[in-house]
Amino acid sequence: MLVGKILRSPHGHARIVKIDTSKAEALPGVKAVLTGAEAAKYAKPFGPHFKMDYALKHDKARYWGDEVAAVAAIDEDTAEEALRLIEVEYEVLPVVLDPEEAIKPGAPLVHDDVENNIGFESHLRVGDIEKGFQEADLILKDKFYTSTQQHVPLETWGCVVNWDQITDKLTMWKSTQSVFYDRIGMAAALGLPETKVRVIMTATGGGFGNKTDGVNATDLVAAILSKKTGRPVSLITERWEHVAASRVRHAMVREIEMGFKKDGTITAHRERDYINTGAYPGMGPMVNILTPIFARGPYKTENEWIDCSMVYTNRSNAGAFRGFGGPQSAFAREQMLDMAAEKLGIDPYDIRMRNLVHPEDCPYVNAQGMKINSCGVEQCLEEAAKELGYHEKRENKRKNRGVGLALMFQWTSVRDRPETDADFSSVYLKMNEDGTATVYSQSCDMGNGVYTAIAQVVAEELGIEYEDVSIVTADTETTPACLGNWGSRGALTAGNSAWRAAQEIKERLFGVAAAMLEVDKDNLEAKERRIYVKGSPLKGVAISEVATAAHFLSSMGEAGPIFATGWWASEADLPDENCCGNPCATYAYAANVVEVEVDPETGKVQVVEHVAAHDVGMAINPAIVDSQILGGMSQSIGYALMEDMQYEPGTGRLLNPTYLDYKILTALDMPDVNPILVEEPDPSPNNDLGVRGIGEGPMNCGAAAIANAIYDAVGVRMHSLPMTSEKILEAITQKQAQERS
Amino acid sequence: MLVGKILRSPHGHARIVKIDTSKAEALPGVKAVLTGAEAAKYAKPFGPHFKMDYALKHDKARYWGDEVAAVAAIDEDTAEEALRLIEVEYEVLPVVLDPEEAIKPGAPLVHDDVENNIGFESHLRVGDIEKGFQEADLILKDKFYTSTQQHVPLETWGCVVNWDQITDKLTMWKSTQSVFYDRIGMAAALGLPETKVRVIMTATGGGFGNKTDGVNATDLVAAILSKKTGRPVSLITERWEHVAASRVRHAMVREIEMGFKKDGTITAHRERDYINTGAYPGMGPMVNILTPIFARGPYKTENEWIDCSMVYTNRSNAGAFRGFGGPQSAFAREQMLDMAAEKLGIDPYDIRMRNLVHPEDCPYVNAQGMKINSCGVEQCLEEAAKELGYHEKRENKRKNRGVGLALMFQWTSVRDRPETDADFSSVYLKMNEDGTATVYSQSCDMGNGVYTAIAQVVAEELGIEYEDVSIVTADTETTPACLGNWGSRGALTAGNSAWRAAQEIKERLFGVAAAMLEVDKDNLEAKERRIYVKGSPLKGVAISEVATAAHFLSSMGEAGPIFATGWWASEADLPDENCCGNPCATYAYAANVVEVEVDPETGKVQVVEHVAAHDVGMAINPAIVDSQILGGMSQSIGYALMEDMQYEPGTGRLLNPTYLDYKILTALDMPDVNPILVEEPDPSPNNDLGVRGIGEGPMNCGAAAIANAIYDAVGVRMHSLPMTSEKILEAITQKQAQERS
């Protein structure tokens, strides 16, 4: 196996004039040196939506860290030495880093043929926006900026690829959220039939959206190096490369305008948003559609008009990230709700209660067409506020302390494969001869516990124990089609697939058990590894015996393998041209209630307590759901207070590509946190388990709640993330200056 | 990963008095040293039938090469050094190498509690043997000895084992003929549930029976070392270890007595056989049952009585080997037929024609109860004799040249799992979205091409191309139960499983295609990746489109994965106490006709031409079937003329544990060979493909035909294998002395 390494652009924007690889090629131990010109012969441009990214860039580098050349060598030291020997002549170009700058006439163009750097637009049109504003007693308008956050998964991007020279079959081992998309992406870029690409998920300790793109430059470079050398290639990026050149959360500019009646009812909601997609589109188009669709939050807004543009800049490519636009929209909307409440003399709690979808509204189809079959957001708000003592703390305000709240509305799974008309998942379920079960699942467990949940569902339905269930993990060759783990879809899609397969297996086992016990099949139940007559637990037989008989004894019906496929497909619609419709399998809700203390001398924010109540429908494994919530809280507090990728103005150099400089919360930074599970089952007919999905929601409204708490504490309204001590101190100073003047 | 190594006995028979491992343990880099006493705490005694073998021996070593101790170290050099540092004190015991010596009173006992060293007996009782001999006009009696042959697979025994410390799950990668038996064997010996053992087949370049035992000492030692060290362990035996201590063909002593009428009709067939199983039973009991069952050959013998005993000696453990007793029985029976023909003045060709099962006899149930639904052995004999010019050469005899022939009757698959009442195979078949197919098969392709055959069957049935079918290879976790590849069963069992699965998939695809084309399903056919209306090939649709629609378009019927399980189970009986019944799925037949030239000055035999005509039922892939026949011919010529494991009398030391001393045929040694395929389909209802199995038959009667040809050339009757120049020269010399006297 060879080691691959990528040479990256040291410039934020530069034309590649000439590359001399001769010295690198001459180095003993170097087996291949690859440039963009040569790579283009092997791989077409790629991308999950628009095919505009290249394995290696042949015309110009568009951000600091962009892929320019690569080597494969016998070991890591040799590969690194070879990179140093590649001589690249660059013509440095001016950079543009900010979407509002980028859309101005005369701004540097990231892609020469994309005018104004606007790569994609979407327009939500719901109700009558002018009428909404006419009906308003109060109209507020403001602008909010969100920052660029890193996913920080345990494993960096990287893979091992073996492109077999005889069979022309490519096998890739990769830490990933979707082997399904990886296979499609690799096959399309390399011009291979899909069945000539096999993707095997390796241990994945966190993804958060970072590993959903389907294919990336690292994968393609490894594949081409394997093809060129005829050997397997391991290409694992270093941490700084991962930070600089994988994916990040879209920084956004959100100009928001909302209208309210005196009682707080929202009459209109309008936004003009720009999302900073960085140098390439990546998942930007999808985020650019979902941002308007989910800007409304869990409210019954009737008139809504949102324009959103995806803008190219000389920053690294933004992509999918836990929430897919949710935290950005909450940061704007939830602050504006608080601003309105203050103007109208209403408590922030009450303005939300006024507008949210109540249980008695359900089943409810909102103005966009989304089917809200049940909704526990009211209970979330009540319980979270109670847990924190929100009302008491509002009434008995302590100096420099404040409480804030925010609600969220999260989609679960989404229709996004128009070419196959489907959003789906499937499992195979095999009952072994000894009464244990094996699940084949392509749902990529990335530490979110979806395999645990699947095993629990199967064990409970079949009446066996959790430890009797083993999982054949994601591998495009051995496991059945599933879009992977993203969009909070794991438990919902793979869980329901497993549930369905288990019903079929149970039917067969009960049939054999009925023949063995000479009783009616409908009188049986299964528990603790036995099938027995209801009410007569002694009249039963071990499931291991039933399984053996079903396999091998033709006297017990047709002998043979016990096997079922469990298929789940969304019944949702694709969004229409107005971004309307019901695009999701189901929806999830939460309320965050936070107490902070702000030091007015330094601007430092201390989160004193953070309560998050989530309506999860049904918690298959409450410990896993708690962990998801805790993880999301940690990530959202980091987003609120410290995380931001900083680019040097003028050069586009990334200033904090390591975790020495890019800070996330450590265990010691975590405040007192309380996850609360609200279980309002989703009654949708296509959701036997009633689960809603918990992957993303916990990220969505933490920063907004903290912003509101900061305002409650020290009276400054924060318009940009992260809300660092410096910014808060500056805001306090300005406020004091205004008050003095 | 650590490297494991085994310390082997330097004595043919010795009590282990003391083992001092302290020096080995002190060597830096050594992670574990294991003795028999400690190994017994981890692993129970094992064996496919009788559990009498141990991972490491704690009481005594029973043959030269027996496993005594083991180490795991950081590399191979350290492991070898550690073996040298283990001090073993032995008490050397007398050896017994020959079954006729071993059963004598007072002979050394290989197992202290097994009297006369007889470990197992079987007794075939068919018809009235005394009446048969009374009806005979000629009775002949003689004794034949066969030799100990090595399988010579490309990979030696060995494996990589990772016994995970957290999950207690053991994963083993191994070159093997049956991951199914490996899993059962490992689980039983280590006291694990079967689902805690995963066995994955690695590339297997030949097995020939050497890799069917299910578990062996090498596997268990690797497992225990992995458990002890908490690390994966690679334990690959060296070639000399493999020759000395894996498995070999049972050497046999066959005392045969047959009665004939004047016209050559067989009236009685009696044998007293001893099979040399070596130090442990291994697969000996099965060979000891099958030897009597198949001693009859393809003849209509009515009265048959065979006693067979399995005898322990201080040689390495004999086991399964291509033919499972077939070559040994042919060597005795086919020579006796020639001897009788000579006495009765009949041509060897005619005495066989007199006795064999003719097509017009079928369906025929022989005296043992075997169901011969069709039989092409007559055609095999005719065609092979014609191809070689047998009759012309008999009539125009050239000096020192001779022709010889022999017939065989080979079982295909056999009922041998009484505990589950089944002999079975299954595949999963997945139709991919793009119209390609994936087969999950636990049939272990060991170079015999069973995966190729499966892919051909699936491609032809589905109307796609061979290269559209990929195989998920044998792995107990991902592929469905199949007993593996042995007993000539690959194409029959896995092939029919695949055929059945393909029918189900085809049904589904035709249903969707019928909806797309708006025609009746029964009017469709599939070919060249299209489904179209019979007779109107233009009215059709690509299978890739049908597959995509079936997966994703709910308008085309129920959407979802296209998946089927194909199950095949034998309808044969278990043999009864008289070794009677119909134990096999089907039977195969062949005729070998050989011309040799013998140098009377040196005794050297030159095979001039070797013709083998095989009734294969149906050849899925004629090139593969040809290759199987050629390989079997090579192995049977080696068996006839040169192959034999030689043990030093008195010590039991193996004298030829390397291929410098143990000779097999090289390409240059191969004579002119002609395989002929006779395709008389097996009409059994349980055999949709009509195949018979070709794995073993080609081995069975080469040595017998050569022995008969030697007699025809120089008039000496050879009673023992291999028929070396020395033995032939001695026989010629004796004959000349007798003629002179």
pTM: 0.86
pLDDT score for B557: 66
Size of interface A-B (CB pairs under 8 A): 101
Mutate which of B458, B469, B552, B558 to disrupt the A interface (most A C-beta within 10 Å)? B552
pLDDT exceeds cutoff 80 at A618: yes
Going by DSSP bridges, is the β-strand pair B469-472/A605-615 parallel, antiparallel, or unpaired? unpaired
Q: Do residues B589 and B578 lie in contact, with contact meaning Cβ atoms separated by under 8 Å? A: no
Question: Under an 8 A CB cutoff, do B569 and A563 touch?
Answer: no
pLDDT exceeds cutoff 90 at A422: no
Percent of chain A past pLDDT 70, that is, above it, reads 99
Pair of tokens at residue B528: 């060249």
pLDDT exceeds cutoff 60 at B50: yes
Q: What is the pLDDT of residues A626-658, one digit of tens each?
A: 999 999 999 999 999 999 999 999 999 999 999
pLDDT score for B554: 66
If pLDDT is split at 50, 70 and 90, which confidence band does A416 have?
low
pLDDT exceeds cutoff 90 at B449: yes
Question: Under an 8 A CB cutoff, do B193 and A434 touch?
Answer: yes
Residue A424: list chain B partners with CB under 8 A.
552, 559-560
Mutate which of A452, A477, A529, A555 to disrupt the B interface (most B C-beta within 10 Å)? A477
Q: Do residues A301 and A355 lie in contact, with contact meaning Cβ atoms separated by under 8 Å? A: yes
Question: Under an 8 A CB cutoff, do A477 and B472 touch?
Answer: yes
**Would you call A559 an interface residue with chain B, using a CB distance cutoff of 8 Å?**
yes
Q: What is the pLDDT of residues A554-612, one digit of tens each?
A: 666 677 889 999 999 888 888 899 999 998 999 999 999 999 999 999 999 999 999 99
Q: Look over chain B and give the mean of its residue pLDDT values, rounded to a whole number.
A: 95
Q: Quote the CA–CA distance of A264 and A132 in Å, as a whole number.
A: 13
The per-residue DSSP string of B102-142 comes to HTSTTPPPSSTTSGGGEEEEEEEEES-HHHHHHT-SEEEEE
**Would you call B138 an interface residue with chain A, using a CB distance cutoff of 8 Å?**
no
- When CB atoms are compared, the residue of A422, A424, A561 closest to B565 is A561
pLDDT score for B672: 87
Residue A498: list chain B partners with CB under 8 A.
none
**Would you call A321 an interface residue with chain B, using a CB distance cutoff of 8 Å?**
no
pLDDT exceeds cutoff 70 at A147: yes
Question: Under an 8 A CB cutoff, do A560 and B553 touch?
Answer: no
Q: How far is CA B261 from the centre of its chain?
A: 35
- Closest residue in A to B560 (Cα–Cα): A567
DSSP 3-state of A42: helix
Q: How far is CA A613 from the centre of its chain?
A: 20
Q: What is the pLDDT of residues B168-213, one digit of tens each?
A: 999 999 999 999 999 999 999 999 998 899 999 999 999 999 999 8
- Closest residue in B to A550 (Cα–Cα): B420
- When CB atoms are compared, the residue of B426, B478, B561 closest to A472 is B478
The per-residue DSSP string of A151-190 comes to ---SSPSEEEEEE-TTT--EEEEE--S-HHHHHHHHHHHH
Q: What is the pLDDT of residues B682-725, one digit of tens each?
A: 999 899 999 999 999 999 999 999 999 999 999 999 999 999 99
Q: What is the pLDDT of residues A65-110, one digit of tens each?
A: 999 999 999 999 999 999 999 999 999 999 999 999 999 999 999 9
Q: Do residues A68 and A8 lie in contact, with contact meaning Cβ atoms separated by under 8 Å? A: yes
Q: Look over chain A and give the mean of its residue pLDDT values, rounded to a whole number.
A: 95
Question: Under an 8 A CB cutoff, do B554 and A548 touch?
Answer: no
Question: Under an 8 A CB cutoff, do B420 and A560 touch?
Answer: no
Residue A560: list chain B partners with CB under 8 A.
424, 426, 565, 567, 569
Residue A477: list chain B partners with CB under 8 A.
438, 470, 472
If pLDDT is split at 50, 70 and 90, which confidence band does B55 have?
very high
Q: How far is CA A546 from the centre of its chain?
A: 42
**Would you call A560 an interface residue with chain B, using a CB distance cutoff of 8 Å?**
yes
Mutate which of B184, B426, B428 to disrupt the A interface (most A C-beta within 10 Å)? B428
pLDDT exceeds cutoff 70 at B634: yes
The alpha carbon of residue B619 is apart from the nearest alpha carbon of chain A, in Å, by: 25
What is the predicted ipTM? 0.76
* Helices vs strands, H then E, count in chain A: 20, 28
pLDDT exceeds cutoff 80 at A553: no
Hey, which residues 159-178 in chain B have their CB within 8 Å of chain A?
169
Residue B434: list chain A partners with CB under 8 A.
193-195
Q: What is the pLDDT of residues A293-323, one digit of tens each?
A: 999 999 999 999 999 999 999 999 999 999 9
Question: Under an 8 A CB cutoff, do A438 and B472 touch?
Answer: no
Mutate which of B427, B565, B568, B573 to disrupt the A interface (most A C-beta within 10 Å)? B565
Question: Under an 8 A CB cutoff, do A470 and B195 touch?
Answer: yes
Question: Under an 8 A CB cutoff, do B420 and A551 touch?
Answer: yes
Q: Quote the CA–CA distance of A737 and B19 in Å, as a whole number.
A: 89
pLDDT exceeds cutoff 60 at B90: yes
Question: Under an 8 A CB cutoff, do A438 and B569 touch?
Answer: no
Mean pLDDT of A243-248: 97
The alpha carbon of residue B567 is apart from the nearest alpha carbon of chain A, in Å, by: 6
- Closest residue in A to B180 (Cα–Cα): A433
Q: Quote the CA–CA distance of B394 and B28 in Å, as a whole number.
A: 71
Hey, which residues 177-216 in chain B have their CB within 8 Å of chain A?
193-195
Question: Under an 8 A CB cutoff, do A565 and B569 touch?
Answer: no
pLDDT exceeds cutoff 80 at B17: yes
pLDDT score for A125: 98
If pLDDT is split at 50, 70 and 90, which confidence band does A343 have?
very high
Q: Do residues A86 and A33 lie in contact, with contact meaning Cβ atoms separated by under 8 Å? A: yes
- Closest residue in A to B434 (Cα–Cα): A194
Mutate which of B421, B483, B529 to disrupt the A interface (most A C-beta within 10 Å)? B421
Q: What is the pLDDT of residues B519-574, one digit of tens each?
A: 999 999 999 999 999 999 999 999 999 998 898 776 666 778 899 999 998 888 88
DSSP A659: T
Residue B548: list chain A partners with CB under 8 A.
420
**Would you call A548 an interface residue with chain B, using a CB distance cutoff of 8 Å?**
yes
Distance (Å) of CA A217 to CA A5, A175, A189, A682, B138? 12, 15, 10, 40, 84
Distance (Å) of CA A196 to CA A168, A186, A512, A629, B201? 7, 10, 40, 39, 21
Q: At what angle do helices A377-388 and A348-355 cross, to 10 degrees?
A: 170
